[in-house]
A and B are shown apart, each in its own frame.
Chain A
Amino acid sequence: MLAAIGVDSVDELFEQIPGPLRLGRPLELPAGMSEAEVYERLAALAARNADAEGQVCFVGAGMYDHYVPAIVDAIASRSEFLTPYTPYQPEISQGGLQVMFEFQTAMSELTGLPVSNAGLYEGPSSVASAGYLAMGATKRRKFVVSRGVHPHSRETLATYSVGYGAEVVEVGLAGGVTDAAALAAAVDGETAAVILQSPNFLGAVEDVEALGAAAKEHGALLVVACDPMTLGILKPPGECGADIALGEGQPLGNRLDFGGPSFGFFCATAAQIRRMPGRIAGETEDVDGRRGFVLALQTREQHIRREKATNNICTAQALNALGAMVHLAWLGREGFRELGELLVRRTAYARERLAAVEGVELLHDAPVVREFAVRLDAPVDRVLDRVAERGIAAGYALGREYPEYEGALLVAITERRTREQIDALAEALEAAVAAGRGAKLADSASKAPRGATEGAVA
Chain B
Amino acid sequence: MQRERATTIYEKSKAGRRAAVLPEAGVPEAPIEELIPANLLRAAPPNLPEVAEPEIVRHYNRLSRRNFDLDSGFYPLGSCTMKHNPRLNERVAALPGHARLHPAQDPRRAQGALELMYLLQASLAEICGLPRVSLQPSAGSHGELAGLLLTHAYHADRGEVRTKVLAPDTSHGTNPASVTMAGYEVVKVATNQRGGVDMDDLRARIEEDPDQIACLMLTNPNTLGLFDENIEEIAALIHAAGGTLYYDGANLNAIMGRTRPGDMGFDIVHLNLHKSFSQPHGGGGPGAGPIAVSERIEPFLPRPQVIRRAAINGHGPRFDLDFDRPKSIGRLRGFQGNFGVFVRSYAYILSLGADGLAEASETAVLNANYLKARLAAGRAGERLPIAFDRHCMHEFVLSGRPLKNDLGLATLDLAKRLLDFGFHPPTVYFPLLVEEALMVEPTETETKESLDAFAAAIEEILTEAETDPEIAKHAPYSTPVRRLDEVRATRKPVVRQPFD
Contact = CB atoms under 8 A, between A and B. Distances in A.
Interface string B371-390: 01110010000000000001
B103 A336 contact: no
Interface in A316-358: 316-320, 322, 325-326, 328-339, 341-342, 344-346, 348-349
A361 to B, nearest CB: 19
B69 A109 contact: no
Interface in A129-184: 132, 150, 152-153, 155-156, 158-160, 162-165
B339 A283 contact: no
Nearest to B349: A29
Contact of B259 (A23, A54, A119, A454): A23
Nearest to B110: A49
Contacts of A132: 181
Contact of B112 (A10, A46, A287, A314): A46
Interface stretch (B33-41, B197-205, B290-298, B463-471): B33-41
B102 A10 contact: no
A269 interface: no
B159 interface: no
Contacts of A458: 109
B61 interface: yes
B255 interface: yes
A63 interface: yes
B472 interface: no
28 contacts: A4-B374, A21-B264, A33-B351, A51-B101, A75-B61, A82-B282, A83-B70, A83-B282, A98-B8, A121-B142, A152-B331, A152-B334, A156-B331, A163-B145, A205-B40, A258-B105, A258-B113, A260-B339, A279-B284, A284-B488, A286-B484, A286-B485, A302-B177, A316-B139, A318-B284, A332-B18, A332-B20, A457-B109
B362 interface: yes
B133 to A, nearest CB: 14
A99 B41 contact: no
A47 interface: yes
Contacts of A281: 495
Contact of B51 (A95, A255, A329, A338): A329
Given A10-B362, A14-B365, A205-B40, A47 B112 contact: yes
Interface string A201-221: 000010101000000000000
A304 B357 CA distance: 33
B340 A257 contact: yes
Contacts of B1: 92
Interface in A255-272: 255-261, 263
A406 B26 CA distance: 33
Given A258-B102, A258-B103, A282-B494, A41 B350 contact: yes
Contact of A46 (B5, B98, B153): B98
B41 to A, nearest CB: 6
Contacts of B347: 38, 42
A94 B66 contact: yes
B77 A320 contact: no
A457 B48 contact: no
A21 B232 contact: yes
A321 to B, nearest CB: 9
Nearest to B333: A125
Contacts, number: 705
Given A22-B259, A236-B42, A457-B109, A79 B312 contact: no
Interface stretch (B87-95, B238-246, B397-405): B87-95
A123 B98 CA distance: 20
A255 B97 CA distance: 12
B299 interface: no
A23 B63 contact: no
B83 to A, nearest CB: 10
A454 B313 contact: yes
B98 A257 contact: yes
B338 A236 contact: no
Interface string B331-356: 11111111111010011011111111
Contacts of A164: 181-183
Interface residues of B, number: 200
Contacts of A96: 63, 67, 283-284
| Interface size classification for chain A | 35 or more
A157 B486 CA distance: 34
A45 B61 contact: no
B483 interface: yes
Nearest to A296: B489
B327 interface: no
Nearest to B75: A85
Given A45-B97, A302-B173, A331-B20, A86 B335 contact: no
A320 B285 contact: yes
Contacts of A448: none
A59 interface: yes
B334 A248 contact: yes
Contact of B6 (A55, A292, A322, A367): A292
A117 to B, nearest CB: 9
B246 to A, nearest CB: 14
A455 B95 contact: no
Contacts of B88: 35, 38-39
Contacts of A336: 45-46, 48
Contact of A51 (B18, B20, B97): B97
B358 interface: yes
Given A51-B101, A92-B1, 17 more contacts: A14-B258, A23-B260, A29-B126, A29-B354, A32-B350, A33-B353, A47-B112, A51-B100, A79-B69, A96-B63, A98-B66, A159-B330, A233-B32, A293-B484, A307-B176, A328-B48, A345-B27
B98 A122 contact: no
A5 interface: yes
Contact of A329 (B48, B97, B481): B48
Nearest to A384: B106
B357 A29 contact: yes
